[in-house]
Amino acid sequence: MSSTQVHSKLLHSAARAVLEPLGLRQEGGSRTWLDDRLLWLNVVEFQPSSWSKGRYLNVGVTWLWHVYDDEPFLFFDVQSRIEGFVPFEDEGRFAAEAERLAHVAGEQVVELRRRFPDLDAAADWLRDELRGTSDEQVDANLLLDCGCAFVLTERWSSARQALERLAAFECEVDWESALASRGAELLGALDRPAMARSEVLDGVDRFRAVLRLDPLAAGDE
């Protein structure tokens, strides 16, 4: 077995021992573990280096309503890099480091669950992130995330304000234009609350389908 296979196996074993009991599942055979919170994911990524054997640790949140026109992908909307690069030097030393990384990942997941116990808490966090952010500083991602979260929590005035700011956003790259387009669709549906909620939840289900997660059931939102 090559050293690359050895360090991958050690990390997988450590992650499985710590993260599976917490309810996380590995995404296929990848280096990524998912904590399914229905409308978002807490994501653990043991990221490899392009240059050396070893791993970084990234842990964060992906909002599942935040879907592009092309294939959705996992990204970190809330925090990311938790641990710097941990090199593979020898099997014994890396086994201990792999176990440590897995426990740090588990602790971070528990903390994210505490920070975002429900949708209202997530919407409050997004509101606080947006508050006081000027049009020059704001990010298109945040505006759409706020719009979607505010729709689902029926904060209609706040949803309209966020989506109107997104409509006026000066897009410079294609992904920003895609976000603005989705925001415009949602803004146009705000006068029909049931349709607006359906728009957001349909986006969540599209993202979940790509990740091979079960669709939302009635009442999950």
Sheet with strand 54-63: strands edge to edge: 25-26, 32-36, 40-48, 54-63, 81-87
pLDDT at position 116: 97
Q: pLDDT tens, 182-205?
A: 999 999 999 999 999 999 999 999
Residue with tokens 């991602």: 141
For the stretch 21-63, pLDDT in tens is: 999 999 877 789 999 999 999 999 988 876 677 788 999 999 9
Selected residue with higher pLDDT from 7 and 206? 206
**Confidence band, pLDDT 50/70/90 cuts, at residue 79:** confident
DSSP the chain: --HHHHHHHHHHHHHHHHHGGGT-EE-TTSSEEEEE-SSEEEEEEEEEPSSSSEEEEEEEEEETT---SS------SB--EEEEEEE---HHHHHHHHHHHHHHHHHHHHHHHHH-SSHHHHHHHHHHHHTT--TTT--HHHHHHHHHHHHHTT-HHHHHHHHHHHHT----SHHHHHHHHHHHHHHHTTTSHHHHHHHHHHHHHHHHHHTTPPPPPTT--
Q: Is the dihedral of CA 34, 102, 56, 60 positive or negative?
A: positive
Tell me the two tokens of residue 78.
Answer: 């809330």
Residue 37: predicted pLDDT: 97
pLDDT higher than threshold 60 for residue 114: yes
Say whether pLDDT at 149 is over 90: yes
Q: Which pLDDT score is estimated for 124? A: 98
- pLDDT of 68 reads 56
Q: In the predicted model, what is the mean pLDDT of residues 149-176? A: 94
* Spatial CA neighbour of 56 closest among 47, 65, 64: 47
**31 and 47 in contact (C-beta within 8 Å)?**
yes
Greater confidence (136 vs 131) lies with 131
Q: What is the pTM of this model?
A: 0.91
**What distance lies between CA 169 and its chain's CA centroid?**
23
Q: Where is average pLDDT lowest: 67-76, 114-123, 203-212?
A: 67-76
Query: What count of residues does the chain have?
Result: 221
Average pLDDT, the chain: 88
